[in-house]
């Protein structure tokens, strides 16, 4: 007993040193305690919890973890970015235009709902997706928030930020690039969703929540390589979050929810297994990637890759101008997207194509409209034309046609035939 008490007192001293009382540095969901009531605060896993005697309810807040960045820290951050593994430039990808277009359209309008990339092994699927990092635009986030909360949109704000806004507090904001999070096949459910320490919750009344990958991916991109090999329980988690835009962690009567709106990008080889239809339908677009057959093109790809492996920095510099031009094009398209219109007649024809192809639900109609508007914005136009729809409609519908799980996904021929039949 004495040993346990000694350990507890030592932990208390350590906690007081690690987490000194700074009301301005952390925030809480609680009003100040009434006179005569004893109040304590526990810190664990980024959570500050106030405990009041005589109350049995669990109450929780997430303390700020980021502060203003000094110039010295900025230099260190820049140096660490330079020392990271170099990424192959997006502009240097040879061929695979369908895959590249689907990725760019999702960056311009994240509400399209992501893209599923299926194709032969060794065709540059993962390389292309990861090369997208350099092109991602900046967004405004609340400084120090674990969920990349938008200071203006309540739909993608964490619980602490919403509480601060209700109290009328001013939120410090910073600009940061859209985040890309890799979901490894071997990830545990706790690592994906976040975890709660049940023992501390039961013994000390502390809701200790550690945000997971879904929290990190909020307002960003969640990439799953070999998504068709993902365990079923993780597929269920992704389906739930993709459907609602929120992630809820339920453990022994304790519930914590946070926003989880992300662009879901998956890649895989169809020879290794097909996706469950429920998950396949959650991807806004579907891109098929094939092995390049042209000998000259294959030689060019091999030579470019050899150049990159020999001197990545020099290779990236040679494509810097093209990358910057593409970044400007994406930024311009995102800014003009809201002003792009699509005629009612074209909307009706899109829905007629979906109806005659027996596409289940209305997700196909919605995604086709959004993708066509994003393509028009990318081309610098403020109005959608039939050509835009013809370009994107196979990618938006072909993975929604399969009725028999044993059938393969249509190549897009059926969709194109129906398009020209309806559009003339």
Query: Residue 347: which CATH number?
Result: 1.10.8.80
**Per-residue model confidence (pLDDT) at position 338:** 94
Residues 6+ positions from 255 with CB-CB distance below 8 Å = 248, 249
In a domain, 191, yes or no: yes
In a domain, 70, yes or no: no
Measured distance CA(37)–CA(365) in Å, rounded: 58
**Per-residue model confidence (pLDDT) at position 99:** 93
Measured distance CA(410)–CA(9) in Å, rounded: 66
**Per-residue model confidence (pLDDT) at position 407:** 61
**Per-residue model confidence (pLDDT) at position 331:** 92
In a domain, 46, yes or no: no
The H or E element containing residue 258 is: strand 254-259
276 is catalytic: no
Residues 186 and 245 placed together within one structural domain of the fold: yes
Residues 104 and 223 placed together within one structural domain of the fold: yes
In a domain, 205, yes or no: yes
| Other CB atoms within 10 Å distance of the CB of residue 286 | 23
Residues 367 and 270 placed together within one structural domain of the fold: no
Helix (H, G, I), strand (E, B), or coil: what is residue 179?
coil
Residues 264 and 351 placed together within one structural domain of the fold: no
Measured distance CA(112)–CA(99) in Å, rounded: 15
Residue that finishes a domain, picked among 266, 291, 316: 291
**What is the 8-class DSSP label of residue 383?**
B
Closest-CA residue to 43 (of 67, 68, 8, 12)? 12
Residues 253 and 343 placed together within one structural domain of the fold: no
Residues 236 and 133 placed together within one structural domain of the fold: yes
Residues 347 and 234 placed together within one structural domain of the fold: no
**Per-residue model confidence (pLDDT) at position 253:** 65
In a domain, 257, yes or no: yes
Closest-CA residue to 379 (of 101, 75, 17, 15)? 101
**Per-residue model confidence (pLDDT) at position 26:** 37
Give the C-alpha distances (Å, rounded to integers) separating 197 from 29, 47, 58.
Answer: 20, 11, 13
Residue that finishes a domain, picked among 251, 266, 291: 291
What is the distance of C-alpha 114 from the center of its chain? 9
**Per-residue model confidence (pLDDT) at position 314:** 93
Q: Is the pTM of this model over 0.85?
A: no
Helix (H, G, I), strand (E, B), or coil: what is residue 41?
strand
Parent domain of 411: 339-423
| Other CB atoms within 10 Å distance of the CB of residue 86 | 13
Closest-CA residue to 351 (of 316, 312, 306, 397)? 397
Measured distance CA(230)–CA(209) in Å, rounded: 25
Residues 236 and 117 placed together within one structural domain of the fold: yes
Q: What is the CATH number of the domain that holds 222?
A: 3.40.50.300
Instruction: Determine how β-strand 61-62 pairs with β-strand 47-52.
Output: antiparallel
Residue 415 token pair: 């969709």
In a domain, 221, yes or no: yes
Give the C-alpha distances (Å, rounded to integers) separating 417 from 163, 168, 423.
Answer: 53, 56, 10
In a domain, 345, yes or no: yes
- Report the phi/psi class of residue 277: left, alpha or beta, with left for phi > 0 and alpha for psi in -120 to 50: alpha
Give the C-alpha distances (Å, rounded to integers) separating 361 from 281, 282, 347, 406, 419.
Answer: 10, 12, 16, 21, 18
Averaged pLDDT in 10-residue chunks for the chain of 424 residues: 43 41 38 41 38 40 39 47 73 90 94 90 89 88 87 84 86 88 88 79 75 89 89 83 84 78 89 79 89 90 93 93 93 94 96 92 93 96 95 92 64 87 89
Indicate the number of domains in the chain: 2
Q: For the purposes of burial, counting CB atoms within 10 Å of the CB of 206, is it exposed (0-12), middle (13-18) or buried (19 or more)?
A: buried
Give the C-alpha distances (Å, rounded to integers) separating 329 from 45, 99, 193, 311.
Answer: 41, 18, 35, 28
In a domain, 183, yes or no: yes
Measured distance CA(102)–CA(280) in Å, rounded: 15
Of 261, 282, 363, 373, which is the active-site residue? 363
């Amino acid at each position: 007993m004495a040993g346990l008490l000694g350990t507890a007192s030592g932990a208390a001293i350590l906690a007081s040193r690690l987490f000194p009382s700074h009301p301005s540095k952390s925030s809480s969901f609680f009003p100040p305690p009434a006179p005569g009531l004893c109040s304590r605060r526990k810190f664990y896993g980024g959570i500050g919890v106030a405990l009041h005697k005589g109350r049995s309810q669990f109450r929780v807040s997430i303390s700020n973890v980021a502060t203003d960045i000094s110039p010295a820290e900025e230099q260190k951050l820049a140096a660490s970015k330079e020392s990271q593994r170099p990424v192959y430039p997006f502009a240097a990808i040879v061929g695979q235009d369908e895959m590249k277009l689907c990725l760019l359209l999702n960056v311009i309008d994240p509400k399209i709902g992501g893209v599923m990339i299926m194709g032969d092994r060794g065709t540059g699927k993962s390389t292309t997706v990861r090369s997208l990092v350099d092109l991602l635009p900046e967004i405004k986030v609340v400084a120090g928030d674990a969920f990349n909360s938008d200071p203006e949109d309540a739909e993608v704000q964490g619980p602490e930020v919403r509480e601060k806004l209700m109290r009328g507090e001013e939120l410090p904001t910073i600009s940061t690039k859209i985040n890309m999070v890799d979901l490894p096949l071997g990830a545990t459910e706790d690592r994906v969703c976040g975890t709660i320490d049940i023992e501390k919750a039961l013994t000390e009344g502390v809701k200790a929540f550690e945000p997971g990958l879904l929290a990190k991916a909020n307002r960003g991109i969640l990439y799953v390589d070999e998504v068709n090999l993902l365990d079923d329980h993780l597929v269920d988690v992704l389906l739930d979050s993709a459907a609602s835009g929120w992630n809820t962690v339920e453990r022994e009567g304790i519930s914590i929810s946070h926003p989880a709106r992300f662009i879901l990008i998956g890649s895989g080889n169809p020879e290794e297994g097909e996706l469950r239809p429920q998950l396949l339908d959650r991807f806004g677009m579907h891109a098929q990637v094939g092995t390049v057959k042209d000998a000259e093109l294959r030689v060019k790809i091999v030579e470019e890759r050899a150049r990159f492996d020999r001197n990545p920095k020099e290779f990236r510099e040679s494509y810097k101008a093209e990358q910057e031009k593409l970044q400007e094009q994406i930024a311009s398209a995102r800014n003009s997207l809201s002003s792009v219109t699509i005629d009612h007649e074209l909307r009706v024809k899109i829905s007629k194509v979906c109806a005659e192809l027996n596409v289940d639900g209305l997700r196909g109609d919605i995604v086709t409209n959004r993708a066509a508007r994003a393509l028009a914005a990318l081309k610098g136009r403020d109005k959608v034309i039939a050509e835009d729809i013809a370009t994107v409609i196979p990618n938006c519908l072909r993975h929604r046609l399969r009725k028999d799980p044993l059938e393969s996904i249509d190549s897009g021929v059926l969709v194109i035939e129906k398009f020209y039949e309806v559009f003339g």
